[in-house]
Chain A
């Protein structure tokens, strides 16, 4: 007897699937193609999902498989990233921290795929290191290392230097942040 079909819950994960796909492809058309493929796979292979486990992590595993097996190649053939994880944000008028966000997107694009997905899963989606490791099919230590490298690289690219940060008092930092907002 079947009381609930996990496929009925797929709709609740569409937004997150698009966001994860977008973070990998940084192109909305490719991201949506990827989500479409992943949805069909998820639907037909639902028997391989273990009820009670993390459905979103399972869906993300399928998504990244479609990315690495197919869409990454397509991604290289598309010259325009429509930002990211970027252009929708830049187009938003008067978005708080707009200047900063553009810098972030530029820096984010510099990360390699493995760093990007590890950072997004842990830092944005809120997966535990263990969940992220399982989703990516690697060891927990590998995920931790990728996340750390991604953060270090972003900080470097955004010139968020730890030494500078240490020298700054909170009031100085606040002053700089508000000055940036005025410029933006």
Chain B
């Protein structure tokens, strides 16, 4: 395996670029389709669950 020093310039630049690219996507606002999807899945789950004691689940 390589014996490259951990703090080499190349490694540093690669890590910086990589983190910047990754963080840039992470920091984008999450599209509504995903929060909507999670809400739909949750609702479907609540409707099929047998113990709907509270009766406050959203009606279709």
Interface residues of A (CB under 8 A from B): 7, 10-11, 14-16, 18-19, 22-23, 32, 35-36, 39-40, 43, 84-86, 88-89, 97, 100-101, 104-105, 108, 119-120, 123-125, 144-145, 148, 151-152, 154-155, 158, 160-162, 165, 168, 173
Check A32/B22 contact, CB under 8 A, given A151-B10, A154-B14, A162-B8.
no
From B11, B26, B27, B45, A151 is in contact (CB under 8 Å) with B11
Check A123/B15 contact, CB under 8 A, given A89-B21, A144-B1, A173-B9.
yes
Mostly, the B contact residues are helix
Check A85/B25 contact, CB under 8 A, given A100-B13, A148-B2.
yes
Q: Are A39 and B37 in contact (CB under 8 A)?
A: yes
Q: Are B25 and A155 in contact (CB under 8 A)?
A: no
The tally of residues in B whose CB lies under 8 Å from a CB in A reads 33
Interface residues of B (CB under 8 A from A): 1-2, 4, 8-11, 13-28, 30-31, 33-35, 37-38, 41-42, 45
Residue numbers in A under 8 Å from B10 (CB-CB): 151, 154-155, 158, 160-162, 165
From B19, B21, B30, A14 is in contact (CB under 8 Å) with B30
Residue numbers in B under 8 Å from A154 (CB-CB): 10, 14
Q: Are B25 and A39 in contact (CB under 8 A)?
A: no
* Complex CA–CA separation, A39 to B37 (angstroms): 8
* Complex CA–CA separation, A89 to B20 (angstroms): 9
From B14, B21, B41, A43 is in contact (CB under 8 Å) with B41
Q: Are A35 and B9 in contact (CB under 8 A)?
A: no
